[in-house]
């Protein structure tokens, strides 16, 4: 039987999760995501976190939690980057996670993208 899989949409989470200080961002939602990821991992759940690309490997394991780098926060041409690379790479990362549950908690356009993806992939 396959272990349950959860994917967190936490673009800003990489720095806190990895301990790298080069990303220079820690916020309340980021802390919550990392605590949830670690708790779910400890319960035996396969956890993936979709994060910004800071130059790390696209797929990276950190303490048993898989990170998937979606895109650089400044990538693409203004006006067009909403579609590519942001939406296209986010959808690719969600496919890569292949989770049964996708957790997205910030109020943003990614809420709609996550809902659309989940509806399309049941």
Domain ranges for the chain, please list them: 5-114
Q: Terminal CA-to-CA distance of the chain, rounded, Å?
A: 19
Return the CATH number of 5-114, one of 2.60.34.10, 3.60.10.10, 3.40.50.2000, 3.60.130.10.
3.40.50.2000
pLDDT single digits (tens) 83-93: 688 889 999 99
Contact 28, 67 (CB under 8 A): no
Predicted local confidence at residue 72, as pLDDT = 86
pLDDT single digits (tens) 31-69: 999 999 999 999 999 999 999 998 899 999 999 999 999
Cα 16 from Cα 84, distance rounded (Å): 26
**Span 11-40, mean pLDDT?**
86
Minimal CA–CA distance to 63: which of 120, 25, 13? Answer: 13
Strands 59-62 and 101-103: unpaired
| Prediction pTM value | 0.88
pLDDT single digits (tens) 71-85: 888 776 677 777 688
pLDDT single digits (tens) 94-110: 999 999 999 998 777 77
């Amino acid at each position: 039987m396959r272990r349950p899989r959860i994917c967190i949409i936490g673009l800003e989470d990489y720095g806190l999760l990895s301990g790298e200080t080069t990303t220079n961002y820690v916020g309340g939602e980021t802390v919550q995501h990392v605590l949830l990821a670690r708790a779910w991992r400890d319960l035996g759940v396969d956890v993936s976190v979709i994060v910004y690309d800071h130059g790390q490997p696209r797929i990276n394991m950190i303490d048993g939690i898989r990170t998937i780098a979606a895109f650089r926060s400044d990538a693409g041409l203004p006006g067009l980057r909403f579609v590519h690379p942001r939406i296209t790479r986010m959808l690719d990362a969600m496919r890569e996670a292949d989770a049964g549950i996708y957790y997205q908690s910030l109020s943003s356009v990614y809420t709609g993208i996550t809902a659309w993806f989940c509806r399309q992939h049941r």
